[in-house]
């Protein structure tokens, strides 16, 4: 892009931001169309996950809609303002995800899942798949789905929560209750 093109783009984007600040949705649409590929590309470089990058890009444009009036052309170009917003949002997302992962790891290490240990040990000792399959049939449909995804599908609790679109604590309680019921069916003494 030449200096003339860049100057023209700055004028156009500055005018669009002023219109967005006035609540003009058409200006927002044009602004989005002109800038979204660059924002998404930068966010994707930080997050390296297309899904999170799409969500974060949407959050950036929501922030643009809400704070367009705060743009000051004396402090930089509209694109540099936008990219700065996007970079900050992406970095915040990385920190948030890392914090969540750290919390989950800490919780997982501190939590003892006795029902799984007792049930899995008994199943391994017996080696009888038919009993397990029969006992899986005693679970509620929801419990069965979560237990199968976690222990037979190899998914983490977080992945199960994402797959089923439910909160992580909900998945954990469903699995815990399902494992208790499995243990009772198999005649295994389950604590907790």
Same domain, 105 and 128: no
Least confident piece of the model among 65-74, 116-125, 139-148? 116-125
Same domain, 81 and 9: yes
Same domain, 138 and 89: no
Q: How far apart, in whole angstroms, are the C-alpha atoms of residue 178 and residue 180? A: 5
Phi, psi of 48 (to 5 degrees): 60, 25
Which of 62, 77, 112 is the last residue in one of the domains?
Answer: 112
If one counts the domains in the chain, the total is: 2
What is the CATH number for 134? 1.10.10.10
pLDDT in tens, 122-179: 555 555 566 777 777 888 888 888 888 887 777 888 888 888 888 888 888 888 888 8
Same domain, 69 and 148: no
Going 38 to 39 to 42 to 47, the CA torsion angle's sign is negative
More reliable by pLDDT, 55 or 122: 55
Three-class SS state of 135: helix
More reliable by pLDDT, 96 or 85: 85
More reliable by pLDDT, 151 or 114: 151
Same domain, 14 and 100: yes
User: pTM of the predicted model, to two decimals?
Assistant: 0.52
Whole domain around residue 182: which residue ranges? 121-191
């Amino acid at each position: 892009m030449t200096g003339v093109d860049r100057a023209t783009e700055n004028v156009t984007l500055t005018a669009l931001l002023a219109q967005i600040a006035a609540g003009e949705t058409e200006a927002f649409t044009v602004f989005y169309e002109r800038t979204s590929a660059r924002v998404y590309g930068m966010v994707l470089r930080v997050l390296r996950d297309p899904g999170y990058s799409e969500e974060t890009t949407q959050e950036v444009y929501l922030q643009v809609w809400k704070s367009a009036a705060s743009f000051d052309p004396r402090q930089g170009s509209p694109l540099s303002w936008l990219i700065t917003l996007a970079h900050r949002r992406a970095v915040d997302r990385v920190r948030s995800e890392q914090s969540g992962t750290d919390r989950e790891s800490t919780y997982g290490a501190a939590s003892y899942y006795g029902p799984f240990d007792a049930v899995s040990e008994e199943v391994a000792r017996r080696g009888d798949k038919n009993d397990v399959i029969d006992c899986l049939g005693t679970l509620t449909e929801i419990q069965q789905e979560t237990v199968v995804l976690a222990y037979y599908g190899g998914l983490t609790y977080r992945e199960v929560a994402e797959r089923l679109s439910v909160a992580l604590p909900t998945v954990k309680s469903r699995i815990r209750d399902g494992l208790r019921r499995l243990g009772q069916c198999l005649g295994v003494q389950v604590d907790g």
